[in-house]
Every structure is written in C-alpha cells, then in structure tokens.
Structure 1
Amino acid sequence: MGIEREIKLALPAEQADAAIRYFMERAGKAGRDVPLDNVYFDTPALALTQAKIALRLRRTPDGWLQTLKAAGRAEGGLHSRHEWEVPVAGEALEVDSLAAACDDAQALAVLRRAAPELIPLFRTSFTRRLWRLAVAGGARIEAAIDRGEVTADVNGEVRRAPISEIELELLHGDESALHALAADLSSKVPGLAPEDVNKAQRGYRLRAGV
C-alpha cells in the first residue's frame, strides 16, 4: 500500500504554455509526453463511489495497470489517499490479483462484494507531460500537466468534459516542499486554482449530468 500525496491545480487552457515554460526552466528539459487512457469501473448502484473508492484500468505506453484508490481527503488542492496498483495482461480487470495486493480490510470487502457487478462507467483520455524536479531540502516531486477529456456514454448520449490541470506529486521528502512549489508556480502562472475534484469524481458528475 502507498499513500499518494499530490497537489492538483486547475489550469486555464490559455495558460498551458506558461506552465510548460515554468517546468522546462525548473527541470532544464522539455519534459516527456505520455498518452494515458483510463476506464473507471463501478456497479450499476455505484457501490464503490458510495464507499469513497475508485477503481481504474489504465493503458500506458508500457502496458496496462489496474488501480484501486481508497477513501482519502482533499483540501486546498492537496489530495492524500491510499492506493494499490497491479499490472494486468490487457484491457480487463483482474480482481483477484488486485485483492491480493490490497491490505485494507474495508476496501477489500467492498471490492469483493462489488466484483460480480462491475461495469465500465466512463473514460478519461489525456496526454500527460512529465518532469521530475529536485527541490530544496532534498525533496523530489513529479510535475505533470494533463490535457484531454472525460467521456461518458449515458443511454447512447456521449457526454464530454475537458481536462486541463497540473499535478504535483511528492515522491520523496517533506510535504512542505509541495506547497512551496505550488506557491512559486502560482506566482508565475496566473489563473491557477486549487482543484479538489479529481478525475474520477468528474466522471461520476458527468454521468449524473452535473
């Protein structure tokens, strides 16, 4: 089990170039583009989201991954939650292997109960530009700019919502380094705002017509 700690910032589309320049200057390189396609699963009665759990299947350039994220908290753009990630052979969930990796009894029980009824609910498709940054105090942070969209097929109607955000994930070191980097970035790139709604929550809202 790992605890993911990251700050999410809503990025106005017109400020994307400014954000890219900021990270290029900090990292001394152009960054790496990674295309990511994700399918989120739940039961028709939304048993997972009611338990504050997200289940995702992700296609990366290196293969497929399935991820379970348990209840966490989000405040001022800082997201903290437990997560378990396991590689899979293809575009299909392997619940048994994910269950074997999950060491939280409550999350595991919810997953086991939901497993027979799991269906794909919505997708996110975006390009992630990545940088690894070494910052003061020896902390290491992965900075990402995500741009793409969320889509949900609801009774034959395809609903869409844009994705344009920055994620700053703490890889090593003190959490204060995240806040310091976010503050410096916000002072250089106008219009950034803390984003407390993650991509999974955005997908559920899209399905609900919000």
Structure 2
Amino acid sequence: MSIEREIKLALPPEQADAADRFFTGIAGAPGRDVPLTNIYFDTPSLALARARIALRLRKTPDGWLQTLKAAGTAEGGLHSRHEWETAVANEALEFDALAAACDDGTALAALRAAASELDERFRTTFVRRLWRFEFDGARIEAAIDRGEVTAPVDGQTRRDAISEIELELLKGDEQALHALTAKLSAAVPGLMPENVNKAQRGYRLCAR
C-alpha cells in the first residue's frame, strides 16, 4: 500500500502553454508526453462508489496496470488516499493479484462483494505531460493532463473535458508541494484548487 499525496489544480486551457514553460524552466528540460487510457469499473448500482473506493485499469505505453483506491481526503486541492497497484497481462482485471496487494480489509471486502457484477462505467483518455525535479528539498512529479472523461449512458456518450495540473510528492516534506503551488499560481493566471478527481467526474457523468 502507498499513500498518494498530490495537489490538483484546474487549468484554464488557454494557460496550458504558460504552465508548460513554468515546469520546463524548473526541470531544465521539456516534459515527456504519455498517452493514458483509464477504464473504471463498478456494479450497475455503483456499489464501489458507495463504498468510497475506485477500481480502474490503466493502459500505458509500457502495458496495463490495475489500481484500487480507497476513500481519502481532498482540501484546497490537496488529495491524500491509499492506493494499491499491480501490473496485469492485458485489458482484464486480475482479482487474486489485487487481493494479495490490498491490506485494507474493508476495501477488499467491498471489492469481493462487487466482483461478479463489475463492468466498465466510464473512461478517462488524456495525454499527460510529465516532469520530475527537486524543489525545496523534495522530489516532485508535475503533470499537465489534457483530454476527456466519457461515459456511455442510455445509448449516448456523455463527455467532460480534462484540463488540470497534478503535483505529486514523491519524496520529502509536503510543504514543498504548497510552496511550488504558490510559485506556480503566481506565474500562471487562473489556476484554481480542484477537489474533484477524475473518477468523481466520471461518476457525475453517469448520474446526470
């Protein structure tokens, strides 16, 4: 298990270039583009959402990953939550591997109870531009995500655009995230804390 600590910021699309220049200046090199597709699973009655956990498959250039995320907190754009992640062979969940990795009995029980009814509910498809650098003694990964959330509902596809920044603490003091956010906000107008994650946005599409 790991605890993911990151700050999410809503990025006005017209400010994407300014954010790109900011991170390139700090990192000393251009960002690396990574195309990502995430498939989120739940039951028809959204049992996992009610249990405050999220289950996804992620397609990366290096292969497939499955991730289970438990309930967490979000305040002022800072998100903290437990997550368990394992590699899988292809576009299919592997419950035994996930169960072996998960050490939260409540989350595991909810997953097992829902397993027979799980199906795709929505997807996020976006390009993530990545930088990694040292800042105030901490190791930070910065990402600009641009793409969309899609959910098939009643024979139609509902969509919501993605344009956001994620600052993830890889190592070091959490205060470095806040200091970086302050410096970024001074350089890029219009940034706002984003307390709603991509999975929550997908569930909102399903519920409209």
Query: 1:133: Cα distance to partner?
Result: 1.4
TM-score between both structures, scaled by the size of structure 1: 0.98
Give the percent of matched residue pairs that are identical in Structure 1 and Structure 2.
75
Measured in 2, the distance between the counterparts of 1:57 and 1:155 equals 23
* Two-structure CA RMSD over aligned residues (Å): 0.5
Measured in 2, the distance between the counterparts of 1:145 and 1:135 equals 17
Give a deviation string over 1:91-142, Cα, whole Å, max 9, x none: 0111111011000011111111111110100000000000001011x21000
Provide the residue aligned with 1:71 in structure 2: 71
Provide the residue aligned with 1:94 in structure 2: 94
SS at match of 1:205: helix
SS at match of 1:44: coil
Say how many residue pairs are matched. 208
Measured in 1, the distance between the counterparts of 2:153 and 2:185 equals 37
Query: 1:53: Cα distance to partner?
Result: 0.2
Provide the residue aligned with 1:178 in structure 2: 177
Aligned pairs for 1:132-151 (under 5 A) are: 132-136=132-136, 138-151=137-150
Measured in 1, the distance between the counterparts of 2:162 and 2:92 equals 24
Measured in 1, the distance between the counterparts of 2:54 and 2:73 equals 13
TM-score between both structures, scaled by the size of structure 2: 0.99
Tell me which amino acid in the other structure corresponds to 2:147.
G
Query: 1:207: Cα distance to partner?
Result: 1.1
Provide the residue aligned with 2:205 in structure 1: 206
Query: 1:208: Cα distance to partner?
Result: 1.1
Tell me which amino acid in the other structure corresponds to 2:184.
L
Provide the residue aligned with 1:33 in structure 2: 33
Measured in 2, the distance between the counterparts of 1:65 and 1:54 equals 14
Give a deviation string over 1:137-158, Cα, whole Å, max 9, x none: x210000000000001101101
Tell me which amino acid in the other structure corresponds to 2:29.
K
Matched, 1:189 2:188: yes
SS at match of 1:30: coil
Provide the residue aligned with 1:123 in structure 2: 123
Tell me which amino acid in the other structure corresponds to 2:110.
V
Measured in 1, the distance between the counterparts of 2:72 and 2:44 equals 23
Query: 1:194: Cα distance to partner?
Result: 0.1
Measured in 2, the distance between the counterparts of 1:101 and 1:54 equals 15
SS at match of 2:25: helix
Runs of 4 or more, structure 1, over 2 Å off, are: none
Query: 1:172: Cα distance to partner?
Result: 0.2
SS at match of 2:196: coil
SS at match of 1:29: coil
Query: 1:179: Cα distance to partner?
Result: 0.4
Measured in 2, the distance between the counterparts of 1:183 and 1:56 equals 32
Tell me which amino acid in the other structure corresponds to 1:208.
A
Contiguous gaps of at least 5 residues in structure 1: none
SS at match of 1:56: strand
Tell me which amino acid in the other structure corresponds to 1:81.
R
Provide the residue aligned with 2:161 in structure 1: 162
Provide the residue aligned with 1:16 in structure 2: 16
